[in-house]
Structure 1
């Protein structure tokens, strides 16, 4: 396994996929509530907050990591589309879904004074990683 022989696209795919997977365990949102002098706060990661988006992010991360690992072994999978196009599509979809969740915070329909849902750093790390997977797919498609 010689990592120095990997293309730039495969290196970015592996790194972005790993970063996306790690980001899913970081805090993405924080919910804080304050009523009658009492306050409480709780944060949630991608696994705890999402019902479907987390699965898309996980599949994207695993696919990116798999492409990089297979490239280190000079192997390719029998896929109906080239790996670069697959990563471009998955990374693009993941990026769009995360951008949607940056703009539209999942508040569960809570519209009560004293309850605030805020974005945490894991959300932005996930956004960068998802965009990185899409970029790696573009690079691999151009090879």
Structure 2
């Protein structure tokens, strides 16, 4: 049986509800990002700026593309050339994909930290960001040495060169690595996991830490050879009465 077409009003209502849900989700995400950014420390924000700067440099011209063609007009042949600028997006390869992944990973890490998510990374957040920035710097430097290969046909030759944008990208990657080193030196406390002890509380002394006080009067006294042991006085000696003296006279 043929399907009955839905009324146009219902279709428009559904489209409006879907658009409203999408707008609400986008506003909620923007609110979460803004709140997370406010909760970050200054050293963490600096890493976020470096990651955003690295993504922004991918829109700058990284390569130059020059095309030289042989144009035939009747019996005559001439050369025609044209030059263009290519960004990282138009010449997308493994290097550009890895650089984008590094920047996105750092931004996601900072977003989670801003929301107070508890997780531990090997070496801490600063070490991970420093390694990520160093890896991106290595990839971009590798791209400086390994440019896209030239393409040559019978009537067409294409050559590639470097433009100023790729050097800005290398600087942004190095700056990202330096912010990771700075974040590691800051030694920021991470949110504790459910099983971790609370660092704000200090446990009381254990029996091993308690000091046992021993009365010195109960300690043994060292006696030299040939000397009679003397009792240790435990208090003040009683006063001696010197008013009366007893004497015994011998009868002569």
TM-score (norm 2): 0.48
The 2-side partners of 1:43 and 1:76 are apart by 44
The 1-side partners of 2:179 and 2:116 are apart by 17
Aligned residue for 2:135, secondary structure, equals helix
Could you say which residue in structure 1 is the equivalent of 2:171? 128
Residue in structure 1 matching 2:149, options 91, 108, 129: 108
Asked if the contact 1:33/1:116 (under 8 Å) is kept, the reply is yes
Which runs of 4 or more aligned residues in structure 1 lie more than 6 Å from their structure 2 counterparts after TM superposition? Answer: none
TM-score (norm 1): 0.79
Could you say which residue in structure 1 is the equivalent of 2:204? none
Corresponding position: 1:26 with 2:60:
yes
Using the TM superposition, give the Cα deviation of residue 37 of structure 1 relative to its aligned residue in structure 2, in angstroms. 3.2
Corresponding position: 1:56 with 2:98:
yes
Name the structure with the higher helix share. Answer: 1
Q: CA RMSD in A?
A: 2.8
Asked if the contact 1:8/1:139 (under 8 Å) is kept, the reply is no
The 2-side partners of 1:50 and 1:106 are apart by 12
Aligned residue for 1:49, secondary structure, equals coil
Using the TM superposition, give the Cα deviation of residue 30 of structure 1 relative to its aligned residue in structure 2, in angstroms. 0.9
Unaligned 5+ residue runs, structure 1?
none
Aligned residue for 2:168, secondary structure, equals helix
Distance 1:111 1:83, change over 3 A: farther
Count of aligned pairs between the two proteins: 142
Structure showing greater radius of gyration is 2
Distance 1:76 1:127, change over 3 A: farther
Unaligned 5+ residue runs, structure 2?
1-34, 70-77, 187-252
Asked if the contact 2:62/2:163 (under 8 Å) is kept, the reply is yes
